Structure 1
Amino acid sequence: MYKLNLNTQNFLTQHWQKSPLVIKNAFTDFVDPISADELAGLACEEELSSRVIITKEDGWDIIQGPIEEYDQFGDDNWQLLVQAVNHWHPDSVSLVEAFRFIPDWRFDDLMVSFATPGGGVGPHIDNYDVFLLQGEGTRRWKVGARGNYSPRGGDTHTALIDDFEPIIDVVLEKGDMLYIPPGYPHRGETITTALSYSIGFRAPSQQELMSGLADHLLDTNTGSQRFISANEPEMPASLSIDHQTGILDLLKDLLAQPKHYQQMLGQLLSQNRFELDLCEPEQDYSTEDLTSALSEGAQLVRIGGLKVICLEGDTQSRLFINGEEFQLNIDQDKLTYIANQMNLTNDKVLELTGSAEMTRFVLTMLNLGYYYLA
């Protein structure tokens, strides 16, 4: 279990999405949840997103995973990055749980890096919030002020920028952490061979929201209302202000209806960008299998990275899980409990499965591989 040494309420009020912050000794006596060898093993897998970044005099080379051989990179000036480690390495899940003072729907993934001296990423700007936690070894981080920076080499398709004047210049040691909000340029350089953890949080862009709304309307065969005008312009080629605002009012009307935006938001925000390590059984669980397991004391455990979301003020009784909607005719307290708990104790599962509907739900979760019995 990882306990964060941070007044979270003060942090949310003073720094969250506002200003960067160095948090020395964020975790006392920090123990790396994963070893360098285990990380290298994950980087061999096709299902995971991984890459090696090599630091050169004139820039950086990127080699996309899977990565199986490391001797070719030498002893310094490179780092391995593996995304969504919390999906595939159970021991890392408890580290992520220390950051659940930020809502689950914002959480993106736990990226872990192994870096040799001199290894790092050039100056860049991210469009998401990130906590940079230091494990073994030491890294130096520089953070600049928000501003207008030129993309490196004029390439607008990269997050890399020209260098910046730092407002923070700090060496992180084991257990230290740096928080960086969106829009602040930063760069890291490894001093001694290091393991580092990047805990990232995202919010949807306007593009993603519009795409999600369009998908929802197509899937539900709704949103077919067309524009009706009260007057027409005198000039045939003119699109009048009245017509422009009237057409856009069709979107406003849709977005004012909970039946549209609640389902869209639940499905969109419960999805993951990275593949999950589903725990699908070889043969579907039956009611008898579940009853037998619970009688032996089994509990229900959520797989790493799975998002379970309930909407405050939802017009329906449901949960959104991994982009899917699950209708459940139970009270809001039980919905909220299921969504908030990573593990459901044996007593709680026995209580929930007292109804046939909840038994079907638990079996569905097990057979989809979203939960497993432990």
Structure 2
Amino acid sequence: MYTLNFDTAEFISKYWQQKPIVIKNAFKAFEDPISADELAGLAMEEDISSRIVKTETDDWKVIQGPFEDYDEHGDDKWQLLVQAVNHWYPESQPLVEAFRFLPDWRFDDLMVSFATPQGGIGPHIDNYDVFLIQGEGERRWKVGHNGEHQCRGGDPSSPLVDDFEPIIDVVLSKGDMLYIPPGYPHCGETLSLAMSYSIGFRAPSQQELLTELADSLIDNSAGQHRFTSSEEAASHGLVSQTQQQGIMDLLAQLATDPAQYQTMLGKLLSQNRFELDINPFEAPISTTDVKEAIEDGANMQRIGGLKVLSLEADTQVQLYINGEVVCAAGIEQDIIAEIANNHLLTQSQLQNWLNDQQVMTVLTQLINQGWYYFSE
């Protein structure tokens, strides 16, 4: 059980997406949810995104996983980072749960790092919100102002930025936390063998929205309306300001019509950037099988990292799961909300739904897709 030791409402009001903050003792009696050896084991798996960052003279070298051995890296100046640990290691989910005071659609993943002394990743800027939680050991973090920062060495392809004047310079110990909004440069240096946890929250960019919208329009043969006007510019080669705006208003029309954007948006926001541990049934089971499992005492557990979303005032009754649409027609809104809000569907909930055929059909789909599994 991980309980945040600060006022989350005050945090959202004063700091969320506004400015960084250090929260000492953010978790009382913090315990690492995963050991260094278990993390190293995850980084050996092909499906799991991992990397080692080695600190060199005024530079950092990145080696992509998976990894078979770590001895060659020595006792200092490197760290192992594993993405989406919550997808593969269920014991880490309670730490993620502590941050559900923010909506699920924003949540990206739990990244875990094991770092040796002087290990770090160099000064960089993230385009998402991040909570950095310190486990075992100590790390020193510096955060700069969110102004203009040059790519390191003038190289536009570099993920790093030049050194900056810190507005925060702090050593984090077990249970401490640093929150950094998008756009603030930061860097960390390990002082002693350390486990650290990065909880990331991300929103779609304009580029991602337009790409997804274009794909949706093409897939549904929609968006066929063309620009028309009642007057034309006198100059042969001129596109008037009125016409420029009128053409671009075609996009604005799509963005204000829920029937055009809602399904696209639900699919986009429920997607994950990293692989999920999905294990669908080889031979699909029936709703009768699901009912029998529930009657025998089973709960239904969501796999790690899976996003299950609903849209307020949706023009269609749907759930959006892992970038796909699940029809929820005929299901009461409060039941849809329970499915979307709860990682675990308990016996008391499931027993109440046993005689609702539409609900049983959806639950059977969730099981057959490998998105949920029966648990005791």
- Normalised by the length of structure 1, the TM-score is 0.98
Shift of the 295–331 alpha-carbon distance from structure 1 to 2, 3 Å rule, reads closer
Quick one: distance in 2 between partners of 1:159 and 1:333?
45
Q: 1:309-320 alignment to 2 at 5 Å?
A: 309-320=309-320
1:146 aligns to 2:165 (yes or no): no
- Report the equivalent of 1:256: 256
Quick one: distance in 2 between partners of 1:155 and 1:341?
45
- Report the equivalent of 2:352: 351
8 Å CA contact 1:133–1:196 kept in 2: the answer is yes
- Report the equivalent of 2:176: 176
Q: 1:107-186 alignment to 2 at 5 Å?
A: 107-186=107-186
Quick one: distance in 1 between partners of 2:80 and 2:243?
54
User: What displacement does 1:368 show?
Assistant: 0.5
8 Å CA contact 1:83–1:109 kept in 2: the answer is yes
User: What displacement does 1:231 show?
Assistant: 1.5
User: What displacement does 1:9 show?
Assistant: 0.3
User: What displacement does 1:353 show?
Assistant: 3.2
Quick one: distance in 1 between partners of 2:93 and 2:279?
15
Q: 1:65-80 alignment to 2 at 5 Å?
A: 65-80=65-80
Matched residue of 1:149: which SS? coil
- Which is worse superposed, 278-287 or 107-116? 278-287
8 Å CA contact 2:291–2:354 kept in 1: the answer is no
8 Å CA contact 1:125–1:184 kept in 2: the answer is yes
User: What displacement does 1:229 show?
Assistant: 1.9
1:212 aligns to 2:212 (yes or no): yes
User: What displacement does 1:200 show?
Assistant: 0.3
- Report the equivalent of 2:195: 195
The one-letter code of the counterpart of 2:209 is L
Matched residue of 2:121: which SS? strand
Q: 1:306-345 alignment to 2 at 5 Å?
A: 306-328=306-328, 329-345=330-346
Residues 246-305 of structure 1: CA deviation (Å, up to 9, x unaligned): 111111111111011211211110100011001323432223322221122100100110
8 Å CA contact 1:279–1:303 kept in 2: the answer is no
8 Å CA contact 2:142–2:186 kept in 1: the answer is yes
The one-letter code of the counterpart of 1:12 is I
Quick one: distance in 2 between partners of 1:215 and 1:158?
30
- Which is worse superposed, 66-75 or 238-247? 238-247
Matched residue of 1:123: which SS? coil
- Which is worse superposed, 287-296 or 78-87? 287-296
Number of aligned residues:
374
Matched residue of 1:212: which SS? helix
- Report the equivalent of 2:371: 370
Quick one: distance in 2 between partners of 1:190 and 1:77?
8
- Which is worse superposed, 287-296 or 75-84? 287-296
Percent identical pairs in the alignment equals 59
8 Å CA contact 2:331–2:358 kept in 1: the answer is no
The one-letter code of the counterpart of 1:250 is L
User: What displacement does 1:182 show?
Assistant: 0.8
- Which is worse superposed, 257-266 or 9-18? 257-266
Matched residue of 1:364: which SS? helix
Quick one: distance in 2 between partners of 1:335 and 1:361?
10
Quick one: distance in 1 between partners of 2:69 and 2:237?
64
8 Å CA contact 1:126–1:159 kept in 2: the answer is no
Quick one: distance in 2 between partners of 1:253 and 1:50?
42
The one-letter code of the counterpart of 2:346 is T
- Report the equivalent of 1:45: 45
User: What displacement does 1:359 show?
Assistant: 1.1
User: What displacement does 1:333 show?
Assistant: 1.4
Quick one: distance in 1 between partners of 2:157 and 2:314?
39
Consecutive aligned runs of 4 or more in structure 1 exceeding 3 Å deviation: none
User: What displacement does 1:219 show?
Assistant: 1.5
Quick one: distance in 1 between partners of 2:60 and 2:156?
16
User: What displacement does 1:352 show?
Assistant: 2.1
8 Å CA contact 1:131–1:179 kept in 2: the answer is yes
User: What displacement does 1:356 show?
Assistant: 1.6
Residues 96-145 of structure 1: CA deviation (Å, up to 9, x unaligned): 01000111111000000000000001111111100000011111111111
Residues 23-71 of structure 1: CA deviation (Å, up to 9, x unaligned): 1111111111111111111111111110000001130111001111101
- Normalised by the length of structure 2, the TM-score is 0.97
Q: 5+ residue gaps in structure 2?
A: none
- Which is worse superposed, 63-72 or 322-331? 322-331
8 Å CA contact 1:105–1:307 kept in 2: the answer is yes
The one-letter code of the counterpart of 2:91 is D
- Report the equivalent of 1:292: 292
The one-letter code of the counterpart of 2:55 is T
Residues 308-358 of structure 1: CA deviation (Å, up to 9, x unaligned): 111112122211111111121222211111100010101211222322211
Quick one: distance in 2 between partners of 1:285 and 1:138?
50
Quick one: distance in 2 between partners of 1:350 and 1:95?
29
- Which is worse superposed, 285-294 or 53-62? 285-294
- Report the equivalent of 1:222: 222
- Which is worse superposed, 67-76 or 151-160? 151-160
Quick one: distance in 2 between partners of 1:320 and 1:335?
11
- Which is worse superposed, 275-284 or 52-61? 275-284
